[in-house]
Amino acid sequence: MDNELKVALAQISPVWLNKVETIKKIEASIIEAAEQKTELIVFGEALLPGYPFWLALTNGASWDLKVNKELHAHYTRNAIQIEAGELNSICDLAKKHHIAIYLGLIERAQNRGGHSLYCSLVYINEFGEIKSVHRKLQPTYDERLTWAPGDGNGLQVHPLKEFTVGGLNCWENWMPLPRTALYGLGENLHIAVWPGSDHNTKDITRFIARESRSYVISVSSLMSKADFPESTPHLNQILEKSPEILANGGSCIAGPDGEWLVEPVLHAEGLIYHILDFNRVYEERQNFDVVGHYSRPDVTKLSVNRERQSTVAYKD
């Protein structure tokens, strides 16, 4: 039935800062989800190849510190250049199994010179086509030491059966205007991706659902001290200050009334499944629609620039 959508929340850990091995884990999750007839699978923020946890463990804000430069270079080598086809195998699986994918990754953007990193959320449709790449508008706190700020080009939504899906990265979900940009495009299934931990997901997931009268899926990764590979540069220094648990999960789903369908799941690696019924969106929009009958565009209106930003415009 077109009004029902089976989703999978992939709460997994990366093979940290190893894009080849992390892609293998992602592919295995897609195949597992497809065997359960899943129609949409979501992976956490920066899962491919991992969140920059070292910044809080190696005095990341120190100027000209060799350890941070070398870790950043290692991170850059394991970032994803989409234009080079590094997501082709994942796109092929999406097409083969007719499954849509939201994937959080670190992008080494070719149109910005190929050396800076962006925290991006990629949507691949059920035909294996990359339909949007949303670069995080504003990296949070120490993330700014390794990620560049993105642009509005990826503020897009996509049809999936009767649903209209869109997504944001981590603390972007706290930003009212980017949320409104997606609401205005008809979003009714909101994807919120996080590096991990229920302190991020336990409040905002239900709030966005209640505000938008939409389904909200929050997906987080896992990361423990044991997950740092032995090949990690300066591993001993990282381990010296690392807590045992860096990301405890917290993946969850709220319905259009803001109530839990799946409460935050902690410390459990694997896929979390649920079936969403689109009719619930219409039921809850009856009394509130933030960009529809309960809006006043004559009084307040949002302007959105979705141009893909680049430093140089070439005319040949």
Cβ atoms of residues 75 and 17 within 8 Å: yes
Residues 91, 136, 187, 211: which is the catalytic one?
Answer: 136
Does any domain span residue 114? yes
Residues 170, 172, 187, 252: which is the catalytic one?
Answer: 170
The pLDDT value given to residue 85:
97
Does any domain span residue 100? yes
Does any domain span residue 59? yes
Does any domain span residue 35? yes
Instruction: Give the CATH number of the domain where residue 132 resides.
Output: 3.60.110.10
Cα angle: 211, vertex 167, 114; to 5 degrees = 145
Does any domain span residue 264? yes
Told to judge if 269 belongs to the known catalytic residues of this protein, a careful annotator would answer no
Does any domain span residue 290? no
Does any domain span residue 297? no
Told to judge if 96 belongs to the known catalytic residues of this protein, a careful annotator would answer no
Cβ atoms of residues 164 and 158 within 8 Å: yes
Per-residue pLDDT of the chain (316 residues), as tens digits, is 799 999 999 999 999 999 999 999 999 999 999 999 999 999 999 999 999 999 999 998 999 999 999 999 999 999 999 999 999 999 999 999 999 999 999 999 999 999 999 999 999 999 999 999 999 999 999 999 999 999 999 999 999 999 999 999 999 999 999 999 999 999 999 999 999 999 999 999 999 999 999 999 999 999 999 999 999 999 999 999 999 999 999 999 999 999 999 999 999 999 999 999 999 999 999 999 999 999 999 999 999 999 999 999 889 9
Domain that residue 119 falls in: 4-151+219-251+260-280
Told to judge if 136 belongs to the known catalytic residues of this protein, a careful annotator would answer yes
Q: How many domains, in total, are found in the chain?
A: 1
Does any domain span residue 208? no
Residues 45, 162, 172, 187: which is the catalytic one?
Answer: 45
